[in-house]
Amino acid sequence: MAPVQKRIAALLRDKVYPALRNTTAKRLMIGFGFFIVTTTILSLNLVPERIDIKIGQPSPKTIKATRTLEFEDRIKTEEARRKAVESVGKVHEQSPGVPEQVTGNITEVMNDVKAVSGNAQLDPAEKVVQLKKSIPFTLPEGVYISLSQYDSQTIQNIDIKTRDIVTRALSKGISDENLDKIKASLLEQDVETINLPRDAKVFVGALIDNFLRPNFLYNEEATQEKIRLARESVAPVMIAVQRGEKIIGEGEIVTPAHIQKLEALGLLKAPVPVSAVLGMAVLVGIGMTVVMIYLYQHRIDIYQNEGFLVLISIIVISALLLAKTIIAIEIKPAWAALLGYMVPIAAASMLLAILLDTKLALLVTAILSGMLGVITGNELRFALVGLISGVVGVYSVSKLSQRSDLAKAGLVYISSANILSIISVEMITRGFNSTSLALGVIVGLLNGIFSAILTIGVLPYLESAFGITSSVKLLELANPGQPLLKQLLMEAPGTYHHSIIVGNLAEAAADAVGGDSLLVRVGSYYHDIGKVRRPYFFIENQLSTENPHDKITPNLSTLIITSHTEDGVELAREHKLPKPIIDIIEQHHGTSLVSYFFHRALENDKNERTVHEEDFRYEGPKPQTKEAAMVMLADSVEAAVRALQKPTPGRIEGLVRRVIKDKLQDEQLDECDLTFKDLDIIAGAFVRVLSGIFHTRVEYPDTVIKEIERRKARDAGIRKQPAGKSENGQHAN
């Protein structure tokens, strides 16, 4: 592999791939893709068919202004601003310390010259050599010889006069622009007039040329600010055209002024206006930001799931594309004016409400409705009807109890909302028009049907593609006709009955603490399906007094008991149950101790050395969600109360709270988000349900019991007599 290819491969491996796996990077890429696609879809509406002419070519026809308009003459405005900028000079700022540095450099060189020329131990040739080393620039050979022969007074005069010339020049200000000019002036005038030998003047000129530098530096930022202020001070040059005014005649040569007027009127065939695209991009960006802030603050689980973000993007983009397609349909004018009402905003709203979150669906519905108004040419009526139908769609599926409710939502609720809102809007905007209103009723009904069909048809695919367990899917799984539930009923009826009660308990708890009540109910139905593998090893399914555990060791019994969670997970995966249900099956015992067999093992092992508590615990994991934890607590509570002798309300409540306390102390609830307040509320919900199941029966007195038995005996005797006879043979009255 070539070195370049190796470097590219290393870059991809070390930088690109890890960045793509980063969740934040994924969210940014999803957001960027959604932003680009959505902005593009909305911007397509900004480019209607326009006139195609070019500068320098003759106009194919006479063009007149379609409306009265006042706009900026950009050509004249820019020319005025250019002149204003040209009048602005550069801004310089004094740099402190430059005079001292320049004079210091000169004095340093002069001190070296003085030290060499005054050294009596050096001969003239050696002095010249030393001067060449000490002076940081090149001089004519004769100047070196002269400097080596000057006395200290002459050298002192050179130093003083040079610094005097430089100081006076710097006091007037020197910049990069005038440095060369000032140097030339000093050499021609100031240096020539000083009273020094010729070679000394050459040396002074060299000092000035090498050490003099600007003490006023160019400030680019201040200059640009001055230019900006100069541009802003120029007022735009406005130009006005009247409706019907000729812009250009047929055959006239097109000039930039013509193009400018045609662009302002929106008559020129050109790319999408930059300002309009930017405005559309800002609109999309605001919508995205609002949704992401909502998700971050209220639904962090959706915010952190890239798949859910992709799902939201797909639903919104599909709705916009469908809207563009419907609006583009060419039909009779009477129908075409109402096509905007056919856009199924409610379908997107219902899908988001069912798959993700009701409040999120309402927020996205509002944003989608605004975008629909843009797509339909800023028609507020279409946006308003779309908003109403979407909101009604969200609330119509917020409490689904069966799949047919989706059809009802479209056929009844959404259609009715559409019809009423269309009639209202049409009467407001167009007045009473029987034809328009009749067509509006038909369109509203079709929109409701279309929304329901789309939702029902697309929902299963989105559930499968994104691994979402919707309420509709859960309702299907709650049907007793499901194969696994039928198998549980036939092969482990005791477990089936136990699961139903656990479902009632867990559902009541979920309703009380704000959990997903439908998920816990369905999860409870399936939590013990693993028991169908060996049903008679579980006491609720034993029909006789013989217990198979009496014939095997406690360790083996524990293995059989704890394996029902693994068996349940395996069966659930075979039947393709959703992951939340599988999680409940796997976690509903956590790492709890099978205490009965543990204590039996301790009794059998007198030394207590071969019995380890971890061998008698479930493998876990512990409940990770409040729903799994509520199923665990309901399962344990139901089993405990079922074994309770004389279950009075007081004894039930005490047992319920003791079971919950034991689970808490055993650290089974450490990994879920239940609070102590939630546990207290859950205990209360359990007690209410169990008190209804195990309510106290009326205890009849002995005299009442004897009277009931006497009447039963008498009734039995009467049934043995011939019809119409009493016990003594007389006819009954």
> Higher-confidence residue: 496 or 113?
496
Task: Report the pLDDT value the prediction gives residue 724, as an integer from 0 to 100.
Answer: 39
pLDDT in tens, 273-290: 677 788 889 999 999 999
Res. 620 pLDDT band, cuts 50 70 90: confident
DSSP string, 529-585: GGGGSSGGGSGGG--SS--GGGGS-HHHHHHHHHHHHHHHHHHHHHTT--HHHHHHH
> Does the pLDDT value for residue 719 go beyond 60?
no
Residue 176 banded pLDDT, cuts 50, 70, 90: confident
For the chain, how many structural domains are there in total?
3
Of these ranges, 16-30, 533-547, 618-632, the one predicted with the greatest mean pLDDT is 618-632
pLDDT above 80 (res 555): yes
Is residue 515 domain-shared with residue 379, that is, in the same domain?
Answer: no
pLDDT of residue 682: 94
Residue range 677-714, pLDDT digits in tens: 999 999 999 999 988 877 555 555 556 556 666 666 66
Instruction: Note whether 547 and 640 are same-domain residues.
Output: yes
Q: Is residue 19 in a domain?
A: no
Please check whether residues 382 and 451 belong to one and the same domain.
Answer: yes
Structure confidence at residue 726 (pLDDT): 35
Same domain as 399, residue 362: yes
Examine the pLDDT at 651 and tell me if it is beyond 80: yes
- Residue 172 tokens read as 């007037």
**pLDDT at residue 730, rounded to an integer:** 32
Arithmetic mean of pLDDT, 716-727:
43
Q: Among the listed ranges 172-176, 410-414, 563-567, which one has the minimum average pLDDT value?
A: 172-176
Give the pLDDT confidence of 291-340 residue by residue, as tens digits: 999 999 998 888 888 889 999 999 999 999 999 888 877 666 566 667 88
701 burial via Cβ count (<10 Å: 0-12, 13-18, 19+):
exposed
Mean pLDDT, range 406-435, rounded to an integer: 83
On whether residue 353 sits in a domain, the answer given is yes
User: pLDDT-derived band of residue 610, with 50, 70 and 90 as boundaries?
Assistant: confident
Tell me if 53 is assigned to some domain.
no
Q: 246 lies in a domain?
A: no
Q: Say if residue 572's pLDDT is above 80.
A: yes
Residue 365: what pLDDT?
Answer: 94
Q: Whole-model pTM? A: 0.58
Q: How confident is the model at residue 470 (pLDDT cuts 50, 70, 90)?
A: confident
457 shares its domain with 576: no
pLDDT of residue 721: 42
Q: Are residues 558 and 687 in the same domain?
A: yes
Residues 350, 429: one domain? yes
**Which amino acid appears at position 198 of this protein?**
R
Residue 232 lies in a domain: no
Is 502 within the bounds of a domain? Answer: yes
Selected residue with higher pLDDT from 69 and 589: 589
Contacts of 169 (CB under 8 A, 6+ apart): 182, 186, 190, 212
Q: Where residue 512 sits, what CATH number does that domain have? A: 1.10.3210
Per-residue confidence band for 175, with pLDDT thresholds at 50, 70 and 90:
confident
User: Could you tell me which residue, 31 or 704, shows the higher pLDDT?
Assistant: 31
Residue 733: what pLDDT? Answer: 27
Q: What is the mean predicted confidence (pLDDT) over 540-568? A: 84
Sign of the CA dihedral running 696, 701, 706, 708: negative
Same domain, 124 and 160: yes
Residue 661 tokens, joined:
């306390």
78 within a domain of the structure (yes/no)? no
Considering the domain architecture, whether residues 357 and 504 belong to the same structural domain is answered as no
Q: Which of 537, 534, 530, 541 is nearest to 574 (CA)?
A: 530
446 and 504 in a common domain: no
218 strand-pairing partners: 92
Q: Which range marks the domain in which residue 188 is found? A: 92-218
The pLDDT of residue 630 is: 94
**Dist. CA 521–CA 528, nearest whole Å:** 13
Does some domain include residue 714?
A: no
Confidence of residue 722 (pLDDT cuts 50, 70, 90): very low
In this structure, the answer to whether residues 330 and 440 fall within a common structural domain is: yes
Alpha-carbon span 203 to 138, nearest angstrom: 10
Mean pLDDT of 465-490: 87
pLDDT at residue 212 above 50? Answer: yes
* Size (the chain), residues: 733
pLDDT value for 349: 93
Least confident stretch, 210-214, 418-422, 556-560: 210-214
Residues 42-57 pLDDT 10s: 887 665 445 667 788 8
Q: In terms of pLDDT, which residue wins out, 366 or 724?
A: 366
**DSSP assignment of 133-174:** HHSSS---HHHHHHHHH--HHHHHHHHHHHHHHHHHHHHH--
pLDDT of amino acid 374: 85
Q: Say if CB 396 and CB 409 are below 8 A apart.
A: yes
Residues 412 and 498 reside in one and the same domain: no
Residue 508 and residue 683 in contact, taking contact as beta carbons nearer than 8 Å = no
- pLDDT above 90 coverage of the chain, percent: 25
User: Cβ atoms within 10 A of the Cβ of 638, count?
Assistant: 25
CA distance 689 to 687: 6
